[in-house]
Structure 1
Amino acid sequence: MSKKTNERPIFPFTSIVGQEEIFKKLSLILNVIDPKIGGVMIMGDRGTGKSTIVRALVDLLPPIEVIENDLYNSDPYDKELMSDEALEKIKNNEKISIIQIKTPMVDLPLGATEDRVCGTIDIEKAISEGKKAFEPGLLAQANRGILYVDEVNLLDDHLVDVLLDSAASGWNTVEREGISICHPAKFILIGSGNPEEGELRPQLLDRFGMHAQIKTLKEPNLRVKIVQQRELFERNPKEFNLKYQDEQNKLIEKIVTARKNLKNITIKYEILEKISQICSELNVDGLRGDMVTSRAAKALAAFENRLEVTPKDIFTVISLCLRHRLRKDPLQSIDSGVQVQTKFKQVFNYN
């Protein structure tokens, strides 16, 4: 059984054009294959389609099975991804109904409060009735899906910190007046913003797995094509989506296969050593850069249906994984990727 929803048509992911889009699309696809990469921050000029491509991503994700009427999208087969309520039902041998839903995608509004994001505890009810009266927030809705924050660079730093903590741990904890509630919140965090309005602090930016930077297209023929694509979509969304259905299905199949094969991908020690050498020589703080680069390269190999990571895989992903980790001064601009690629070519002796 599945939920039926009346949804507005979404611009198909495979119809989005432009050379600059390749890296933006790749960063999103790799995070879908391996959410442990840690999400992606997409920075770009106004009107470069950041929101369009993120919202198109959800159509590439297979549906998920959840426990019916559960507010946390609890996985009926994995206790680590179940809410306390679901675990209680299973413990009491209550019958649970399983349904299939579309992978959730939650938009976090810019003016959202911490209570709206994390959820609230009704202290009065908890004291008077002795129950943990909890109203789940956006993190509960996003569990096992995607949480998208547009203009994340304008969000309060504390709130960004909360999102990053939940994305990294897979859990959300709310504490009020000595009462503590914890629930699964495993999601892919995607942020976007306009660099003219400022970047995140380096400490927060470092916690995003990947960083894609998109500039306005200059080629007139591509600009015309994008305008025409949009007009065709708006004129008849259903017909436009049908035109790309085969391409969408092929991409979905590749992603599903890559997810299954990810555990079988190997990466040679010498390559791992060279990744760490690049991070060290670029003065990248911590080990996140090393880990994210190897994870992203494995996801790319899986996506291309190979079993071993090659230097070319590293070259493809390393700028996306490291460029935002080079900035030490909040006023400094983010590297375009040239510095990372130059260092890669030196270390790997790659032409």
Structure 2
Amino acid sequence: MNPETEIPAYPFSALVGQPRLQQALLLAAVDESLGGVLISGPRGTAKSTAARALAALLPGAPFVTLPLAASLEQLVGTLDVEDVLRDGRLRFKPGILARAHGGVLYVDEVNLLPDALVDALLDAAASGVHTVERDGISERHASRFVLVGTMNPEEGELRPQLLDRFGLSVVIANPADTAARQAILRARLAFDRDPQRVASEHAAHDAALARAIATARARLDAVELGDAALARAADLAHAAGVDGLRADLVMLRAARALAALDGRDAVLVQDVDAVADDALLHRRRHPAPPPAARPEAPPPPPAACSGGDGDWGALPPQPAGFETASLPGTWRPKA
């Protein structure tokens, strides 16, 4: 396809009214070991559009989709034992996990996948490597990617053991009112009419986001986690009644990624507060405290509408309604 006529992905910086989703995706891109992002919401709320927009921020990153009917062998790859027996050479046939290395792996309706596939996905997302074993022969390969899973709660839930393995979780709602819907429709139709122009208008913002991710990745290990941040994460996890320590660790890693995105060398208590809801949402066992007692967080975002799920039949699947969003560090006041 001619690059001049190829339809670009919708700009990440143009996603409408979704600061929490944008933040979660950016943090997962900075630190892939977070375990990915689970996006829960109804059909047609731009979940796949956001994932594609994130992949476009990562230079040369593949965007790989896991089909709902995929087998475990298709996901993890396989070893050709016949080749080993014939000529002594081990040949690995890469699967989806290998193809997604360095990019974004998008899993729609993850709640409908067999548990074995979800386990393999989450293992690779958290560890960055995957081992394929067959008949006593094993092959280990890199598999670092940003995992983005989506689900519609009306179609079934994930088991708590699998929910806990996702790093961050964001709930997307339908547009709050008719004015929001109209704004979404206008922006969507503008993109349909001239996607190159819309992409050009946001090119500088997306380029800045791409640089911010690359810089944050490089400085991530040097960001310090102080006692105050650790204590805050432990207090919030304890108040939520979560099982185990995964929520605490995710909060601290996400807060570290946020500090790196903001260009700081140490995690603040405010960083932990900014990521806590998304780390605890799918793990919480105790009711959330009343709003006045909770750390400040962005309100639940109105969702952009995407045709990827088929309920906007006359419109193409990728574009969605959007408006200009802020660059890293501006979704909340900086300390």
TM range (shorter): 0.7 to 0.9
Task: Give the match for residue 232 of structure 2.
Answer: 274
CA distance in 1, matches of 2:91, 2:198: 46
Identity %: 43
- The change in CA–CA distance for 1:208 and 1:339 in structure 2 (over 3 A counts) is farther
**Contact 1:315–1:341 under 8 Å retained in 2:** no
Q: Give the number of aligned pairs.
A: 293
Q: Secondary structure at the match of 1:174?
A: strand
Task: Give the match for residue 43 of structure 1.
Answer: 40
Q: Which has the larger radius of gyration?
A: 1
Task: Give the match for residue 56 of structure 2.
Answer: 59
Task: Give the match for residue 253 of structure 1.
Answer: 211
Q: TM-score if structure 2 supplies the norm length?
A: 0.81
Q: How does 1:206-245 map to 2 (within 5 A)?
A: 206-245=164-203
CA distance in 2, matches of 1:171, 1:305: 28
Q: How does 1:1-351 map to 2 (within 5 A)?
A: 8-18=7-17, 21-61=18-58, 63=59, 102-327=60-285, 338-339=288-289
Q: What letter matches 1:10 in structure 2? A: A
**Contact 1:318–1:340 under 8 Å retained in 2:** no
CA RMSD of aligned residues (A): 2.3
**Contact 1:319–1:340 under 8 Å retained in 2:** no
Unaligned runs of 5+ residues in structure 1 are: 64-101, 329-334, 346-351
Alignment deviations for residues 161-216 of structure 1 (CA, whole Å, 9 cap, x no partner): 01111122222222222322221112221101111111211101101110001111
Q: TM-score if structure 1 supplies the norm length?
A: 0.78
Q: Secondary structure at the match of 2:133?
A: strand
**Contact 1:278–1:344 under 8 Å retained in 2:** no
Q: What letter matches 1:49 in structure 2? A: A
Unaligned runs of 5+ residues in structure 2 are: 296-335
CA distance in 2, matches of 1:29, 1:317: 12
CA distance in 2, matches of 1:185, 1:38: 12
**Contact 1:278–1:343 under 8 Å retained in 2:** no
- The change in CA–CA distance for 1:299 and 1:240 in structure 2 (over 3 A counts) is same
CA distance in 2, matches of 1:288, 1:110: 28
